[in-house]
Each structure stands twice: as structure tokens, then as C-alpha cells.
Structure 1
Amino acid sequence: MSRPSVDDMLSGKQSRYSLVIAVAKRAREIAQTAEDNGEILTEKPVNMALKEFQAHKFNIIEPDINE
């Protein structure tokens, strides 16, 4: 299993915590979609979500703390 670099997936403003939360939410979406469609996943949803974030298919948007 390849381990993607966390630094490669984060831009300067994003925290590791936000990446963990985003990957977990996306993994739940992948698992739910597969369950709803009756699909059997050959790969773990977390790995699929990590690959999507590594490929920059999704962006993590954090709220501005100064607002």
C-alpha cells in the first residue's frame, strides 16, 4: 500500500485535522453510495478517499477564523 504524503495533499492554510475530517466524510459518502447501489467495494473507502484528495479531486475549505 502506498502512503501518500500529507504535505502533498495540504495547501499552506489547511491543517492536518481538516484533512482527516474531510477524508473521513468522503469515505463515509463512498461507502454509503456503494451500499445504496448494492456494489461490493474491493478497496477500502478510506483508501479511495485518500487517493481522491491526493489527485486534488476535492478541495478542503476551512472557515476563516478572523470572521
Structure 2
Amino acid sequence: MMLEPSIDALQEKIKSKYSLVTLSARRARQIRENKNVLVENPKSYKFVGMALEEVQAEKLSIKE
């Protein structure tokens, strides 16, 4: 089973795995609470997957 988006593709957007996990977990909680997804027709039905799709689509990032 291949995960989509891949970790390699996500690390091109956000370098730190720790930051990626923290960001996606926070965003997943927000999506769960208010059902507002920033990407149209997400492939994933899980909240963390939706958050990772937002990172891949560059709708979600970390300020440096």
C-alpha cells in the first residue's frame, strides 16, 4: 500500500519530519472541528491525510 502524498514529496515542502507531524496533527484537529478543508475533493477520508494533502498543495506551510 502506497501512502499519498509520499513522505519524500512532503519533505520537499517542510524539511523537518517533526514539524510536518506537528503541523498536520494540529491541522487535522482543526479540520475535525470545523470541517473546513483547503483542498477540493481530498483523496483521503481521514483528517491527517487531508492535512497532508493541504501541505502537498502548498495551502498549508510553516512560517520560518
TM-score range, shorter-chain basis? 0.5 to 0.7
Structure 2 residue runs of 5 or longer lacking an equivalent are: 36-43
- Structure label with greater radius of gyration: 1
Structure 1 residue runs of 5 or longer lacking an equivalent are: 35-41, 63-67
The one-letter code matched in structure 2 to 1:19 is: L
Q: Distance in 2 between matches of 1:14 and 1:47?
A: 18
Identity within the alignment, %: 45
* Displacement after TM superposition at 1:13 (Å): 6.9
Runs of 4+ in 1 over 6 A off after TM superposition: none
What is the TM-score normalised by the length of structure 2?
0.67
Q: Distance in 2 between matches of 1:46 and 1:52?
A: 10
Q: Call closer, same or farther: CA 1:14–1:24 in 2, change over 3 Å.
A: same
Alignment of structure 1 residues 17-28 onto 2, 5 Å: 17-28=18-29
Q: Distance in 2 between matches of 1:12 and 1:18?
A: 11
Corresponding position of 1:14: 15
- Contact in 2 for aligned 1:14/1:60 (Cα 8 Å): no
Q: CA RMSD in A?
A: 2.5
The one-letter code matched in structure 2 to 1:57 is: K
- Contact in 1 for aligned 2:14/2:61 (Cα 8 Å): no
Aligned residue pairs total 55
